């Protein structure tokens, strides 16, 4: 088994190497302390796994992950980071990393996780996986709602998102107030809410709808 460890902190890098050699005596480990140095590593297709620090002097976060994926197409990438927030872990999940190893892991938990990863099984902290599943389900529901809305209802939805009253909406869209209220009712029904305040709370709490409203304002819905 051959690994590349991309880690700028020497103490951390040496600790990882010592542990991995203790676990796998015949392991072949190459070191890099920056993205530039990693890019100059020869025989890039020979590595089984890449241990990638998310924060390097010359690259960070998703940029690091995408760069390594492009350079080491045959390798499985394990992100190693002190940031284990669900949003950061989801970036790794969404970009097909093999796993995510929080730097705070120690002792048996660290060893068990390393064995799992190096045996070919993906690993991500449970909280992030649950968060992603929940978000994916919510987005699927939201896509169905979006598909049901008419072009005019999408225009009204934008106005509601901006907290405009019915008269202003009617004037801006050049329609009658009664028509606005009918659209409001149909929109509430589509979102399974009973009034404007509940609709706004749902929209403001949804990253999906915040992005869709931005697209609407650019005329792309």
Nearest to 6 by CA among 21, 44, 22: 44
- pTM for the model stands at 0.61
What pLDDT score does 131 carry? 72
DSSP element (H, E) containing 58: none
Distance between CA atoms of 215 and 221, rounded to whole angstroms?
A: 6
Task: Report residue 12 CA to chain centroid gap.
Answer: 26
Provide the token pair at 46: 């020979």
The series of mean pLDDT values per 10 residues for the chain, 221 residues long, is: 95 94 93 94 95 91 90 94 85 90 93 95 80 80 93 94 94 95 95 93 91 83 46
Distance between CA atoms of 170 and 108, rounded to whole angstroms?
A: 64
What pLDDT score does 137 carry? 81
Provide the token pair at 154: 């999408």
Nearest to 117 by CA among 103, 97, 146: 97
Domains of the chain in sequence order: 2-129 (3.40.50.2300), 149-217 (1.10.10.10)
Q: Compute the Cα dihedral for 83, 89, 95, 96 and give only its sign.
A: positive
Inter-residue contact 154 to 218 (CB < 8 Å): no
Nearest to 22 by CA among 102, 111, 139, 142: 111
First to last CA, the chain: 49
DSSP of 158-213, one letter per residue?
HHHHTT--HHHHHHHHT--HHHHHHHHHHHHHHHT-SSHHHHHHHHHT-HHHHHHH
Provide the token pair at 169: 């909406």
Provide the token pair at 51: 């241990």
> 163-199 b/e with 16+ CB inside 10 Å = b?
ebebeebbeebebeeeebeebbebbbebbebeeeeeb
């Amino acid at each position: 088994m051959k690994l590349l460890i991309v880690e700028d902190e020497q103490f951390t890098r040496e600790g990882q190497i010592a542990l991995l050699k203790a676990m796998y005596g015949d392991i072949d480990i190459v070191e890099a302390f920056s993205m530039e140095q990693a890019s100059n590593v020869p025989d890039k297709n020979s590595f089984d796994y890449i241990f990638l620090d998310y924060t390097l002097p010359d690259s960070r976060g998703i940029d690091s992950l995408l760069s390594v994926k492009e350079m080491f197409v045959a390798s499985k990438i394990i992100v190693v980071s002190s940031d284990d927030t669900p949003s950061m872990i989801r970036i790794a999940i969404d970009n097909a990393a093999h796993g995510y190893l929080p730097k705070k892991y120690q002792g048996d938990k660290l060893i068990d996780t390393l064995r799992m990863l190096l045996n070919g099984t993906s690993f991500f902290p449970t909280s992030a996986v649950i968060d992603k599943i929940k978000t994916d389900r919510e987005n699927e529901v939201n896509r169905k709602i979006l598909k049901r809305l008419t072009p005019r209802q999408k225009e009204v939805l934008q106005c509601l998102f901006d907290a405009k009253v019915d008269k202003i909406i009617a004037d801006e869209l050049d329609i009658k107030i009664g028509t606005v209220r009918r659209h409001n009712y149909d929109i509430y029904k589509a979102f399974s809410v009973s009034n404007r305040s509940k609709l706004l709370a749902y929209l403001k709490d949804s990253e999906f709808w915040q992005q869709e409203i931005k697209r609407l304002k650019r005329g792309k819905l």
